[in-house]
Amino acid sequence: MRENSFSLNDIVFPLFVDEKAEQHIPIPHMPGIYRIPLRLLQNEIKSLANLGLKAVLLFGVSNHKDELGSDSWSSDGLVARMVSVAKDSAPEMLIIADCCLCEYTTHGHCGIFQKGEVDNDGTLLNLARQAVVAANSGADIIAPSSMMDGQVSYLRRALDQAGHTATPIMSYSSKFASSLYGPFRSAAGCGLSGDRLTYQMDPLNGREALRESLADEAEGADILMVKPGLPYLDVIAKLRERTDLPIAAYQVSGEYAMIKFASMAGAIDEHRVVRETLGAFKRAGADLIISYFAKDIAQYGLNAPLS
Ligand code: PBG
Ligand code: ZN
């Protein structure tokens, strides 16, 4: 009589690829998660595929930052190199390329940053350049995460013009200006001064979050995403009633840290809590779950009972 189930088909593992690291570098606030050196990415992807994982979401840790984030669309830049290495390592693995500029800009904002503001429309061209480079390098899905207005239709047009008519867009469509991204920012080396409140969503606005996601659907998104996950199950559930597109839930770095540290302190049983959170995403209506627990889950299995 169990209503929901999940399998590795539903789960995406985010990876941080560091172009200058020699060894795996532990991320202090995400025990068990490492920056993967680009030179070891091939082995990493192969071993994830052997574990049964089906999809990874790639983030670059750049050593070539500038004001605009131009390395991200250079044909021999980090996005191009990490995507093509990943795709060649295990062709059956779905390679999702995060598409944003904050990991490649010196100021850490998700777009062109001038006079204390992000230039929404100017940023679109640079995102499109990056998306086309990622698709040219073999990315199976492009995942724009900058929350610039109009990014989905702009990227759709650019991808189509470059011949990538069959490359889907997974939009970070309802992305909140959350305090749960802290560990990610140190992991990706993209701390910033100020905040992202002019482009990310106010955590107190549920209706606006639906509007943002539905606007991305109208612009041609193929998959919608709600991020973070657990504190925003209401948004997932309401969105489920308003769209027939697949919905992804992103269990973000701070959610991972909360569960890991609580279990390390002996306060909770990690595996059971992880399964319970995955179940919550499914109950709310998510089809895909992006989680830093993906590798652990592949190792300890999903089939043990929830209680
Ligand atoms: C940047 C980006 C962020 C995350 C994914 N893409 C951070 C941010 O918006 O500041 C957060 C992921 C996480 O915390 O796990 N575009
Ligand atoms: Zn960003």
Split at pLDDT 50, 70, 90, the class of 305 is low
Q: Pick from 142, 252, 289 the residue to mutate for probing ligand 1's pocket: most ligand atoms within 8 Å of its CB.
A: 252
DSSP per-residue codes, 168-195: -BEEEEEEB--GGGHHHHHHTT---SS-
| Model confidence at 26: pLDDT above 50 | yes
Task: Report CA-CA distances (Å) from 71 to 63, 126, 145, 202.
Answer: 9, 11, 17, 30
Return the CATH class of domain 8-300. alpha beta
Query: Which residues are near ligand 1 (CB < 6 Å)?
Result: 98, 100, 102, 110, 145-146, 181, 184-185, 196, 252-253
**CA-to-CA distance for 3 and 19, rounded, in angstroms?**
43
Q: What average pLDDT does the segment 95-118 reach?
A: 94
Cβ count within 10 A of residue 181 = 20
What predicted TM-score, i.e. pTM, was given to this entire model? Answer: 0.96
Q: What average pLDDT does the segment 286-292 reach?
A: 98
Spell out which residues have Cβ within 5 A of ligand 2, the ion. Answer: 100, 102, 110, 146
User: What's the confidence (pLDDT) of residue 6?
Assistant: 86
pLDDT in tens, 143-187: 999 999 999 999 999 999 999 999 999 999 999 999 999 999 888
Q: How much distance in Å is there from the Cα of 174 to the middle of ligand 2?
A: 14
User: What's the confidence (pLDDT) of residue 303?
Assistant: 61
| Model confidence at 189: pLDDT above 90 | no
| Model confidence at 227: pLDDT above 50 | yes
SS3 55: strand
Catalytic residue among 54, 175, 238, 282: 175
pLDDT in tens, 47-89: 999 999 999 999 999 999 999 999 999 999 999 999 999 999 9
Q: What average pLDDT does the segment 277-285 reach?
A: 97
| Model confidence at 286: pLDDT above 60 | yes
| Model confidence at 220: pLDDT above 80 | yes
Active site residue 282: no
Q: How much distance in Å is there from the Cα of 185 to the middle of ligand 1?
A: 7
Active site residue 227: yes
Split at pLDDT 50, 70, 90, the class of 304 is low
Q: Which ligand is nearest to the CA of 227?
A: 1
Helix/strand/coil (H/E/C) assignment for every residue in the chain: CCCCCCCHHHEEEEEEEECCCCCCEECCCCCCCEEEEHHHHHHHHHHHHHCCCCEEEEEEECCCCECCCHHHHCCCCHHHHHHHHHHHHCCCCEEEEEECCCCCECCCCCCCEECCEECHHHHHHHHHHHHHHHHHCCCCEEEECCCCCCHHHHHHHHHHHCCCCCCCEEEEEEEECCHHHHHHHHHCCCCCCCCCCCCCECCCCHHHHHHHHHHHHHHCCCEEEEECCHHHHHHHHHHHHHCCCCEEEEECHHHHHHHHHHHHCCCCCHHHHHHHHHHHHHHHCCCEEEECCHHHHHHHCCCCCCC
**CA-to-CA distance for 98 and 81, rounded, in angstroms?**
14
- In 3D space, the residue among 103, 110, 117 whose CA is nearest the CA of residue 71 turns out to be 103
Percentage of residues in the chain with pLDDT exceeding 70? 98
Catalytic residue among 227, 238, 260, 282: 227
User: What's the confidence (pLDDT) of residue 69?
Assistant: 97
Q: Pick from 35, 59, 102, 291 the residue to mutate for probing ligand 1's pocket: most ligand atoms within 8 Å of its CB.
A: 102
Split at pLDDT 50, 70, 90, the class of 13 is very high
**Pick from 176-185, 193-202, 235-244: least confident:** 193-202
